[in-house]
């Protein structure tokens, strides 16, 4: 994978005052996105609804993180972790995410995620950890081209 979009290196900071919220069906397709999610991701709410949640997936994220997330939420447990997401313009934003099920009459019907900002130290720690995880066999490697 190669990225030569200069936006790739630009971070958008997550506002302290708003929660970034989305819901998905059981396949991970977005069924609800709030304005804060639209703003931070650079998509409109309409563009997000119906799309797989990997629309904001960043190539720096190891596959193993999402595998663990899905295993956890499928077992009806709450997953929390750090996620680097990619904006529509190629830039990125980091969030602390909580992902869990939505139950109707005790039956799992959807998933929801609520996200809050991270500190600089948390971002450094997560980027370092994910860079190391990316060295594992089966993970995609990326290359950034500076123009
Ligand atoms: C409620 C919910 C929220 C999610 N939020 C994100 C997210 O913010 N960023 C992301 O890359 N994946 C998120 N995912 C995981 C994606 O569905 C997907 O598994 C991930 O992007 C990896 O893509 P892949 O499964 O195509 O490899 C979320 C999943 C659920 C159920």
pLDDT at 3 over 70: no
Domain ranges of the chain: 2-144
Q: Which one-letter DSSP state was computed for residue 57?
A: B
Of 139, 117, 143, the residue nearest 129 (C-alpha): 139
Q: Please answer whether residues 5 and 142 qualify as being in contact, where contact means their C-beta atoms are separated by less than 8 angstroms.
A: no
Q: What is the pLDDT of residue 140?
A: 83
Q: Which CATH superfamily is domain 2-144 in?
A: PAS domain (3.30.450.20)
Mutate to test the pocket of ligand 1, among 19, 37, 54, 81 (most ligand atoms within 8 A of CB): 54
Any ligand 1 atom below 6 A from CB of 51: no
Instruction: Tell me the per-residue pLDDT of 29-74, one tens digit each, with 9 for 90 and over.
Output: 999 999 999 999 999 999 999 999 999 999 999 999 999 999 999 9
Residue 70 CA to ligand 1 center (angstroms) comes to: 9
């Amino acid at each position: 994978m190669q990225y030569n979009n200069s936006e790739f290196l630009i971070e958008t900071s997550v506002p302290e005052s708003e929660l970034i919220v989305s819901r998905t069906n059981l396949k991970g397709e977005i069924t609800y996105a709030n304005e804060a999610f639209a703003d931070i991701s650079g998509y409109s709410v309409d563009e997000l609804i119906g799309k797989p949640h990997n629309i904001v997936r960043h190539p720096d994220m190891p596959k193993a993180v999402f595998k663990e997330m899905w295993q956890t939420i499928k077992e009806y447990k709450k997953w929390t972790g750090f996620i680097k997401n990619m904006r529509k313009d190629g830039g990125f934003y980091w969030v602390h995410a909580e992902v869990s099920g939505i139950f109707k009459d005790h039956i799992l019907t959807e998933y929801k995620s609520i996200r809050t900002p991270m500190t600089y130290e948390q971002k450094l720690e997560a980027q370092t950890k994910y860079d190391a995880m990316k060295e594992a066999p089966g993970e995609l490697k990326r290359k950034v081209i500076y123009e």
